[in-house]
Chain A
Amino acid sequence: MSKTIVTLVGKDRVGIIATVCNFFAENNINILDLKQTTSQGFINMMMIVDTDAYKGSTAELNKGLEAVGEKVGCIIKAQHEEIFNMMHRI
């Protein structure tokens, strides 16, 4: 399974998670885990998603997420899980 970590940061408002989840559903991307906190009106969210059934490349996924980010006023990035495991696990 090819796991990708999606991070989102921005000003909190109604419908951010719904919009992002819709984008994943439309693109055949399965959400495996979701963690988020809000503080002083800002949202930090991280999703672990399975991109095996996604047809495009990481660059295309990031482009799609950028468009979603513009819609909800957040910065969204997708990165392969391995970079996080390498940096934070021995």
Chain B
Amino acid sequence: MVELNEAFETVNMVAQENLDVRTITMGISLLDCIDPDLDTVCKKVYDKITESAKDLVRVGDEIGSEYGVPVINKRISVTPIAMIGAAACKTPQDYVRIAKALDDAAKKVGVNFIGGYSALVQKGMTTGDKLLIESIPEALASTERVCSSISLGSTRTGINMDAVRLMGDIIKATAEATKGNDSLGCAKLVVFCNPPDDNPFMAGAFHGVTEADRIINVGVSGPGVVKHELEKIRGENFETLCETIKKTAFKVTRVGQLFAKEASRRLGIPFGIVDLSLAPTPAVGDSIADIIHEMGMEYAGAPGTTAALAILNDQVKKGGVMASSYVGGLSGAFIPVTEDRAMAEAADIGALTLEKLEAMTCVCSVGLDMIAIPGDTPNTTIAGIIADEMAIGMVNQKTTAVRLIPVIGKGVGDFAQFGGLLGEAKIMPVNKFGCADFVNRGGRIPAPIHSFKN
């Protein structure tokens, strides 16, 4: 029987500590939509998505209401579109038409983002992959809800430096194409090393080719809940700290497990995974930087931050793994800057730099995320930052990502605003020294050695 204190603990987590289910994401395979005729591809894509996900938003809201925990986002991920359009698309504009079909389908079923405008080019690019990448600036400027992700490297294959260099140009072109909205297009574009096939979080969600026809993946959240629990154990030793994070992560993840099973049952679609990520929002108190502060750092970015983040990431996984029957996706702590109010503040006062964030990505889930940089940052420098991040992922056998926003027309200290969950922040400085001769070499970085671990 439920006890009084347990009931109120749960109620307070929602009412005061921002506990929510961040996303229910339906993965949909579009492999059966491939056709040599572009009109047919667009129609099949639109029809399959709108039929598969017609009840997604309603069911998500119903479950949220019954259990009293809000489901913030309902989203869709699809098979990487580079594959789906390869037979039909002869120009980048052809791919843009598929992007518009995805956008129309997303609007029809009422989801706020659809991910999978993607190409997996970690070893090489097909003609279709290249056309899709070239179409990204126009695709993201002319659609509202489509998200794009490109896989540029993996531990098994190495890093495709030709694609890294190209993405330096594409990120800048996307920024230029959406400069009217503080280069918002770049917030919907992420590059990966070792991307998971079942990630429910945007902008990097896509439905891997080894996945089932349709699947339900759930991303939980809860930085505010963890912070609140840590407030109660100030000054206690690391054992107590770790145990507290682990127990809290267990409870938060149980909510995700329940919602995933229930959504799966009501929609008649198999349950895929629960993603254990601690995902912050711009809401006060819903912040990873606040947790780091609570652990003992004056501000996120101070010496000790990387160790604190390593503890947080590991304990979240240890607690969460036991709470769910299938764990997947990114599963860890996200460290976006604009989406996390306290992280943005730490960057603003100079406690947190791009270089420290890079170090933090070695121990956290994902990578350099939602960082506004000056609009005049050279394309080659963006490619260099990507190459560094891909190398960290490749060597450490982990997922890393880069989502940088070069805000056209703005410089260091100017304010960039993206709205809603994407948040806002001042523009961070980037190392001024060049790397053009390195990233312009062309070719691939070979896969790392899998022995002699030091």
Contact = CB atoms under 8 A, between A and B. Distances in A.
Interface of A: 5, 7, 9, 33, 35-37, 44, 46, 48, 57-59, 62, 75, 77-88
Contacts of A75: 15
Given A79-B66, A83-B67, 16 more contacts: A35-B3, A44-B4, A46-B4, A57-B65, A59-B65, A62-B65, A75-B15, A78-B68, A80-B66, A80-B68, A81-B2, A84-B6, A86-B255, A87-B6, A87-B9, A88-B10
B7 A46 contact: yes
Nearest to B258: A86
B220 to A, nearest CB: 12
B4 A37 contact: yes
Contacts of A79: 10-11, 66-68
B68 A9 contact: no
B117 to A, nearest CB: 35
A21 to B, nearest CB: 18
Contacts, number: 67
B251 A87 contact: yes
The 7 closest A-B pairs by CB, nearest first: A79-B68, A86-B254, A83-B67, A88-B6, A58-B66, A84-B2, A46-B7
A85 B323 CA distance: 12
A77 B254 CA distance: 20
A40 to B, nearest CB: 15
Band of interface residues on B: 20 to 34
Contact of A83 (B1, B8, B10, B15): B10
Contacts of A9: 8, 11
Interface of B: 1-4, 6-11, 15, 65-69, 251, 254-255, 257-258
A83 B4 contact: no
Given A33-B1, A48-B1, A84 B7 contact: yes
Contacts of B255: 83, 86-87
Contacts of B10: 79, 83-84, 87-88
A87 B3 CA distance: 12
Nearest to B257: A86
Contacts of B69: 83
B66 A46 contact: no
B144 to A, nearest CB: 29
Contacts of A44: 4, 8
Contacts of A86: 254-255, 257-258
A9 B14 CA distance: 14
A62 B67 CA distance: 11
A88 B11 contact: no
Specify which of B67, B255, B257 lies most central, judged by the most chain A CB atoms within 10 Å of its CB.
Answer: B67
